[in-house]
Amino acid sequence: MRSEGVSSTLTVFHDGQFWVGVVEHVEDGRYGACRVVFGAQPSTEELLQFVLRRWGALEFTEARPGEVGVLAKNPKRRQRQAAREACQRGPGTKAQIALREERERSHEEAGANRSREAHAQAEARFAQRSEKRKRKRRGR
């Protein structure tokens, strides 16, 4: 099966502390993004080695339908569409939005896991107290 409309881009920038790469991947209208921290400024050779060795192991955000659509021919209409989408979406690029959604989803999962673990610990403590009360009552 041949997939059409595959596009990947790597954008490297300095975020104030580290050199960061944002990988954007569009395949069959599905959009995904991934953030990679390089640390020191990567050279061209290091970027090439990254692409050759680690590109396949990148974990992109959940693929969601991209806003890859047909652009209007009229430039004024395109400008209105862009302004409308910017107001709906809020600030940030598609990659930033996708990474933010992924971070929020993982944060919610972590909170749910902490809650389940705390509940399980509370049940275990209750069981221990109950067992201790039973032993005391039996005189052991």
Domain boundaries in the chain? 7-138
Is a pLDDT exceeding 50 seen at residue 140?
yes
CA distance from start to end of the chain = 71
pLDDT for residue 67 is more than 80: no
Q: At 55, is the pLDDT very low, low, confident or very high (cuts 50, 70, 90)?
A: confident
Say how far apart CA 23 and CA 35 lie, in whole Å.
6
Q: Give the alpha-carbon dihedral of 123, 129, 132, 137, to 10 degrees.
A: -120
| Predicted TM-score of the model (pTM) | 0.47
Written as six digits, the tokens of 48 are 């090439």
Mean of the pLDDT values across residues 109-132?
A: 95
Report whether 68 contacts 61 (CB < 8 A): no
Residue 127 banded pLDDT, cuts 50, 70, 90: very high
The answer on pLDDT for 70 being more than 70 is: no
pLDDT at 89: 58
Q: Average pLDDT in the 12-38 region?
A: 84
What mean pLDDT value characterizes the chain?
A: 82
Looking at residue 40, the DSSP 8-state letter turns out to be S
Q: Which residues are registered as beta bridge partners of 30?
A: 27, 65
Res 108 pLDDT > 90: yes
Residue 65 has pLDDT above 70, yes or no: no
CB of 4 closer than 8 Å to CB of 12: no
The confidence band for 98, taking pLDDT boundaries of 50, 70 and 90, is: confident
